[in-house]
């Protein structure tokens, strides 16, 4: 168990470092991506540098780890798949109301699910994650640079989302011991509170 916790900490640190580097060099990567990778880096960096997206996506991974098998892999698979469909809607320009409100609400709901140790039926958890994923995807698609290739851009934000889910899963596995359980629940509370802040700004 000690080794598992140590490697989990290393993985979370690597994720945090990657996110920080992404924020620092995002302008240069976003510009070069339009010329070299068709917008892949713009798509990849959008969830990483958008803090409202980041906390919700990490939260999905944490909640999946908390709920256990099969949610630990179902939630992080369903979210990107449905999010990609939302991205298509955003790219095509179909109007969707209250997108930012729903994104903020996703952090509140998922954070509360973690902090309050809520264990809904698997179908309910999947429905919650899928509904919120549509709005996250829509925001990604709607904010795609005009010069980006839609497919490359979508691949970028889907892969970034998967990486954030993995970060959440790695941290959520700490729940298997008493000390880690406190840290995981506390993280859920932080995600929920940050979501409330974003929600207040969106309303």
How many independent structural domains does the chain possess? 1
- DSSP per-residue codes, 150-186: HHHHHHHHHHHHHHHHHHHHHHHGGGGSHHHHHHHHH
Does pLDDT of 23 surpass 50?
Answer: no
- 24: pLDDT confidence band, cut at 50, 70 and 90? very low
**Taking Cα atoms as reference points, which of 196, 36, 6 lies closest to residue 103?**
196
| CA–CA separation, 24 and 11 (whole Å) | 20
> 24-31 contacts: CB < 8 A, separation 24 or more?
30/145
Instruction: State the Cα–Cα distance between residues 132 and 38, nearest whole angstrom.
Output: 27
Q: Has residue 33 got a pLDDT over 60?
A: no
**Does residue 25 or residue 165 have the better pLDDT?**
165
pLDDT confidence of 37, banded at 50, 70, 90?
low
Count of CB atoms within 10 A of residue 137's CB? 27
Q: What is the CA radius of gyration of the chain?
A: 16
SS3 content of the chain, % helix, strand, coil (to 5): 85, 0, 15
Output the CA–CA distances (angstroms, integers) from residue 39 to 19, 47, 191, in the order listed: 18, 14, 29
Helix (H, G, I), strand (E, B) or coil at 147: coil
List the domain range (segments joined by +) for residue 159: 2-202
User: Is pLDDT above 70 for 12?
Assistant: no
pLDDT in tens, 157-178: 999 999 999 999 999 998 888 8
pLDDT of residue 15: 54
pLDDT digits (tens, 9 = 90+) for 93-128: 899 989 999 999 999 999 999 999 999 999 999 999
Q: Is 105 exposed, middle or buried (0-12, 13-18, 19+ CB in 10 A)?
A: buried
Contacts of 63 (CB under 8 A, 6+ apart): 71, 75, 110, 113, 114, 125, 168, 172, 188
Q: Is the pLDDT of residue 194 over 60?
A: yes
Question: Residues 102, 144, 55, CA angle at the centre, nearest 5°?
Answer: 40
Residue 139: exposure state from Cβ atoms within 10 A (0-12, 13-18, ≥19): buried
14-23, 74-83, 161-170: lowest mean pLDDT where?
14-23
With cut-offs at 50, 70 and 90, classify the pLDDT of residue 80: very high
Residue 20 or residue 136, greater confidence: 136
């Amino acid at each position: 168990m000690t080794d598992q916790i140590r490697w989990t900490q290393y993985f979370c640190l690597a994720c945090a470092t990657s996110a920080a580097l992404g924020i620092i060099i995002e302008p240069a990567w976003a510009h070069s991506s339009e010329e070299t990778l068709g917008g892949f880096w713009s798509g990849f960096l959008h969830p990483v540098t958008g803090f409202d997206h980041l906390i919700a996506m990490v939260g999905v991974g944490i909640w999946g780890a908390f709920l256990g098998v099969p949610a630990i892999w179902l939630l992080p698979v369903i979210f990107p798949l449905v999010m990609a469909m939302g991205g298509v809607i955003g790219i095509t320009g179909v109007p969707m109301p209250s997108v930012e409100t729903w994104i903020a609400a996703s952090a509140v709901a998922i954070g509360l699910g973690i902090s309050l140790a809520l264990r809904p039926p698997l179908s309910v958890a999947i429905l919650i994650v899928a509904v919120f994923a549509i709005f996250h995807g829509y925001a990604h698609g709607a904010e795609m640079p005009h010069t980006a290739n839609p497919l490359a851009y979508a691949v970028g934000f889907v892969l970034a989302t998967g990486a954030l889910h993995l970060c959440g899963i790695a941290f959520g596995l700490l729940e298997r011991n008493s000390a880690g359980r406190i840290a995981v629940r506390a993280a859920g509370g932080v995600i929920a509170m940050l979501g409330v802040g974003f929600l207040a700004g969106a309303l």
